[in-house]
Chains A and B, each alone.
Chain A
């Protein structure tokens, strides 16, 4: 028995069918690394934001698959794990200048016609580690409500678990991205402030301040952040 196992509470997990004992409290990702696996794909930010580490697992006495992000979920005793290298879902190419929703009854159907196959089983929503109402945004896309689709899917990190579980082969996260792009380009009001700020950045007006901050000590930077003034201009 190693020193670790003597001093720490351990749980038993199965990786690709092989039994391992790993310390309790590790995430699935770190537990796999503890067991000797090295991630080349299927691992990214380790902070629950990038969506690269989608994982499927089972627990004892439960027939249903469970899904989560490997970097955000703690191992439990009796977990059966597999890693998914990536989610195979085809993203349709589109030209942002050619997807004006005003030119078409429902541009979403032109690119992702399989949304019409949705049977409203809600399996996508149940699979989502971000608690997004996935089925509802697919339904919004189907009825041409692109803005609502974009709004509901806003927290999507594109891990793809919805698409893995869909019986209708819908590419939820890709179509949601299209909806958000269309919303940004055609539906939301144009922001003069944004354009002004982008121009200021391009003109180099913040270069000196940026350089100053990069060179700052961490404590100094934290103080600056906490004391920042975010009131509206004018």
Chain B
């Protein structure tokens, strides 16, 4: 796509994580490379099935790849880490296993065959390559904010779909420095937030969240930055039973703020506005 990027939203971006979609779209618009939503797309399935013969759970992501192919595009950009991980893994599997691709195409009779030529990218990969452009657009560097980046699992594991070094990632640190933030080194940044245990084992998630947030606070962080809507929910919501209440931002919200773009931040459980006002980032 010449004018921007073909964008796969995923269901959560249209509901609970609408703050993320709004801020990411505003940032990309301001950078002159707007995110253009796909004409048609399907729920990725949210969890990648690891069973060898389970082709059925690969259908949804590959259907979305077919939609991109039909639009004549070779690249799809995602915001949600879960969607990124599932789409990428399913897509790579089709590229690496021609037998699976054949089985898939036999089943998807209503679409033209998927040729395996589409690539999946996460928004951070796009932003990493646009750091110079971002720097030029920064109007209010967020210098007073001490931010601990948090990656979670889905951007980094398994290794073959990782957007950065699995053990020692720097992609978020680089972006935070670009917008002037005071980056707090976060040794817990690649640990799991507890993920879907939030549904019926919130005790597990609370322990994970306490562990991650307490370390960030101890190291002086005012807030956490991330991109996964599930991590955001867990780290934000489950601080309620801990001694902490630091805001959990989508990184794109911080980039938008630094660019002087107004963003809603409507769905945060811990309202970030008072922190932003204290730091004179918001009026």
- A interface, CB within 8 angstroms of B: 105-106, 116, 118-122, 135, 139, 142-145, 167
Which of these, A122, A135, A143, A167, contacts B11 with CB under 8 Å?
A143
A142 and B11 in contact (CB under 8 A), knowing A116-B46, A120-B43? Answer: yes
Closest chain B residue, CB of each to CB of A167: B56
A122-B63 Cα distance, complex, nearest whole Å: 10
Contacts of A122 in B (CB 8 A): 110
Question: Is B14 a contact partner of A144 (Cβ separation < 8 A)?
Answer: yes
Contact residue range for chain B? 10 to 19
Given the complex of chains A and B, what is the CA–CA distance between A144 and B43 in angstroms? 12
Chain A: which residue is nearest B62 at the CB level? A120
How close is B36's CB to chain A, nearest CB, in angstroms?
17
Complex Cα gap A143–B46 (Å):
13
B200 at the interface (CB under 8 A from A): no
Count of CB-CB pairs between chains A and B under 8 Å: 39
| A143 contact set on B, CB distance < 8 A | 9, 11, 14-15, 43
Give the contacting residue for A120; candidates B9, B15, B46, B60; CB below 8 A: B60
Please judge, given known A-B contacts A116-B46, A119-B56, A139-B42, whether A145 and B63 are in contact too, CB under 8 Å.
Answer: no
Interface residues of B (CB under 8 A from A): 9, 11, 14-16, 42-43, 45-46, 56-57, 59-60, 63, 107, 110, 267
A-side interface mostly: loop
**CB distance B43 to A105 under 8 Å?**
no
Q: How far is the CB of A116 from chain B (nearest CB, A)?
A: 7
- Set A106, A119, A139: member contacting B15, Cβ < 8 A: A106
Min C-beta distance of B142 to chain A, whole Å: 28
CB neighbours of B42 from chain A (8 A): 120, 135, 139
Contacts of B60 in A (CB 8 A): 118-120
Q: Which of B42, B56, B107, B110 has its CB near the most chain A CB atoms (within 10 A)?
A: B42
B208 CB → nearest A CB, Å: 23
